[in-house]
Structures are given as C-alpha cells and as structure tokens.
C-alpha cells in the first residue's frame, strides 16, 4: 500500500509531498512528522527507500506507507494529555510521533506480538531521546511497549482516549476493539479493506467513517499448543509522575518558553530552505552590419550569454559549501541545552534536566 505521493530525497521532502497531496493537513501533525526522521527506523542499507510513499518489511520489522501514517495521525485528532494505545506498535515510529503531541501528561502504550520488534522499537526510542535535537523542542510522552497478542488483552484493562490498530481487523473482533475505547474516544483501524475512524458517542453507541481504501495483513490469532490458552496480555500500568520528574518537566517548559519569547519560532521544527545556484551571465559585444541606403555600415551590438568558466563555477561551489555550513551550524544550536548548561546548578542536576543526553 502506498505510492500516493512522489518520492523525496529526505524526510523534509517526504513531508512536503504529503502536505501537497493533503495527507497532512494540520500543523501539529506536520511538526511531528518533521521531528521524527522516518529513515532512522530503517535498517542500515535500506534507508534509500525510506522517503518513498511505500510500505517496508524486513523479517518481522514493518513500516506502513507514509500516506497511511499521516491519515492515521490526522484521524486520531490527538491533543495534549490524552491516553493512546497502539495495537501492533511495530518499530515505534508512530508511537514516538504521537508522544510529541500528547505530551508528558498523556499515556502512550503499545502492544507488539514479536519480542525482537519490541527490542528494536526500544532501541530506536532510546536513540531518539539521546541523539535527536527534536527531543528538546517538544514535551514528550515516552512510549511503553509490551510484548503480547493484542487479541489477548486482559478484560479488566483500563480504557483509552485514542486507539490505533496496525493490522487488518475482522468483523468478529470489531466489538473487542471498541470495548477498549473510552466514551468520546476515537479508534482508527482497518476493517474490510477500509481504514475506518470510529468514535464512541455513548456506552453502547458509535459513529463510523471510512477514511481510505487500504490493504493490511490480518491480525494474528494466536493458538496455544495442545489446547493451552494463550497468555493474557497485561497492559502497562498508568503511573503518576514523581515530584522530581514533574520538576524537570516544568523547568524545561519554563526555559523553552523563555527562549521562544526571545526568538519566536526558533523552538519549532522547520523545513530547511534549500540554496539555489545563481545563473551567471556576461555581456558580449559583437560586430554586425546594417544597410543605410546603398551603404553597408558596421554597428556594435551587446548581447547576454550564460557563462560557466571554471573559475566562476568553482566560486559558486565554494559559496554553496559555505551556505551548507551555515545551515548545519544553525541546526546544531540547541537553545534549551545552552540555557540548562548556564544554570548555576551541580553538573549531576544539569545532566538530569538534559535526560543525560550527551549533545
């Protein structure tokens, strides 16, 4: 499934194409897509195909097409503080984007059948927290991933404001999914080859809306050996943050807000503008002749020609290298980090405020 938009050279190109095709329609979804580089969730050697609007699978690792994820993010109508459950959470790519929107007072849980994929998702999450500059530009709700079959979730599990299922749901399991949803909540899942948005309007009432024709592999129905009942999945608990953690959140929020007041928009993830080559021309004089009566008279005429002498071409390339260097320097400036490092605090406390990030 995919191929609805043109391929991009990088993550920003991909987001631009999704916006142009109206798959991304809101600023908060755009910001989340720009902050999380899809290529970071590919295995080494496969990144070249990361920015095509195509699904990708290698062993148990799977990513849906970007157009699917963007429609899902828009259909979920995410807000800060909401609880989110990702059934078939895979690489954690979608869950990480959701975490940027629901923020530190939300809930972000994922259930994934394959243990090796959960380990892969945890590694990618750890890499994002430690190495991505985007982490310091958002308040983040860290996903918690659980190994298990999402069709075996405990019946006494808590309910969620938003749910996404990343595998085809049979009609027999539709009500099972709906029970996990709070009243007023939204469930997005593929049913009968349609990506469907379901809103729970009451205790026993729902409204459904088809979003997009899709093709998903069906949910795996796990059967126990020799009639044994499959293991029940206990969802992660909803925990209250410690006072220490709350202090870190509010200190970082205050510093970030102060930085944004000084330089509005600097804390947002923005499209890096590409530098364009300048066309260089030279004026050329040439002799031409015109008839005046019976006489042929020479006349000088000036014309413009595009020129590409080697020395000027070299100058253009050097200018572009300087431009690229300037862009890289701007991208590397982390205002929040600089403010924390300037605080008159012990180094150990600064490290805690930085989530022990090294850069």
- H helices of 132-190, in order, are 174-179
User: Rounded to 5 degrees, what are φ and ψ at 292?
Assistant: -120, 105
How far, in Å, CA of 75 to CA of 197, rounded? 7
Both tokens assigned to 342 = 């300037």
Give catalytic status of residue 64 as yes or no.
yes
Separation between Cα atoms, residue 179 and residue 170, nearest integer Å = 15
What tokens appear for 224 in the block?
A: 């126990």
Q: Taking Cα atoms as reference points, which of 160, 307, 170, 152 lies closest to residue 232?
A: 152
Strands 107-112 and 83-87, by their bridges, are parallel
Read off the tokens for 159. Answer: 């309910």
Spatial separation of the C-alpha atoms in residues 132 and 205, rounded to whole Å: 42
What does the block give as tokens for 4? Answer: 């609805």
Of 6, 49, 64, 286, which is the active-site residue?
64
- The contacts found for 264-272 with CB under 8 angstroms, 24 or more apart, are 266/335, 267/137, 267/335, 267/336, 268/31, 268/137, 269/31, 269/34, 269/35, 269/134, 269/137, 270/34, 271/12, 271/15, 271/16, 271/34, 272/12, 272/327, 272/331
CA gap 253, 336 in Å, rounded: 9
Among 194, 202, 149, 153, smallest CA distance to 171 is for 194
CA atoms within a 13 Å half-sphere pointing along the CA-CB vector of 225 = 0
**Spatial CA neighbour of 234 closest among 143, 150, 142, 108:** 150
As annotated, the active-site residues are 64
């Amino acid at each position: 499934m995919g191929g609805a938009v043109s391929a991009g050279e990088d993550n920003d190109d991909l987001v631009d194409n999704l916006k142009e095709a109206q798959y991304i329609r809101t600023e908060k979804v755009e910001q989340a897509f720009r902050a999380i580089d899809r290529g970071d969730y590919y295995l080494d050697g496969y990144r070249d195909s990361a920015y095509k609007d195509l699904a990708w699978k290698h062993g148990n690792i799977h990513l849906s097409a970007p157009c699917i994820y963007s429609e899902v993010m828009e259909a979920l109508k995410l807000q800060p503080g909401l609880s989110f459950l990702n059934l078939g959470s895979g690489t954690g790519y979608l869950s990480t984007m959701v975490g940027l929107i629901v923020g530190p007072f939300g809930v972000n849980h994922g259930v994934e059948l394959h243990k090796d994929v959960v380990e892969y998702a945890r590694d990618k999450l750890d890499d994002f927290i430690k190495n991505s500059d985007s982490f310091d530009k958002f308040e983040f709700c860290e996903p918690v991933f659980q190994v298990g079959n999402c069709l075996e979730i405990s019946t006494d599990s808590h309910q969620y404001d938003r749910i996404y299922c990343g595998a085809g749901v049979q009609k027999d399991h539709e009500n099972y999914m709906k029970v996990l949803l709070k009243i007023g909540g939204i469930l997005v899942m593929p049913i009968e080859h349609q990506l469907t948005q379901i809103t729970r309007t009451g205790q026993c009432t729902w409204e459904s809306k088809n979003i997009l024709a899709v093709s998903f592999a069906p949910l795996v129905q796990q059967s126990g050996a020799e009639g044994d009942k499959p293991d029940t999945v206990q969802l992660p608990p909803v925990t209250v943050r410690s006072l220490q953690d709350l202090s870190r959140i509010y200190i970082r929020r205050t510093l970030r807000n102060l930085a944004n007041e000084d330089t509005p928009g600097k804390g947002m993830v923005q499209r890096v503008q590409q530098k364009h080559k300048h066309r260089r021309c030279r004026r050329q004089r040439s002799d031409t002749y015109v008839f005046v009566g019976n006489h042929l008279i020479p006349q000088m005429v000036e014309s413009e020609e595009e020129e590409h002498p080697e020395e000027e071409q070299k100058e253009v390339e050097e200018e572009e290298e300087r431009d690229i260097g300037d862009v890289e320097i701007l991208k590397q400036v982390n205002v929040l980090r600089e403010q924390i490092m300037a605080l008159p605090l012990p180094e150990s406390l600064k490290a805690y405020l930085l989530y022990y990030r090294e850069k």
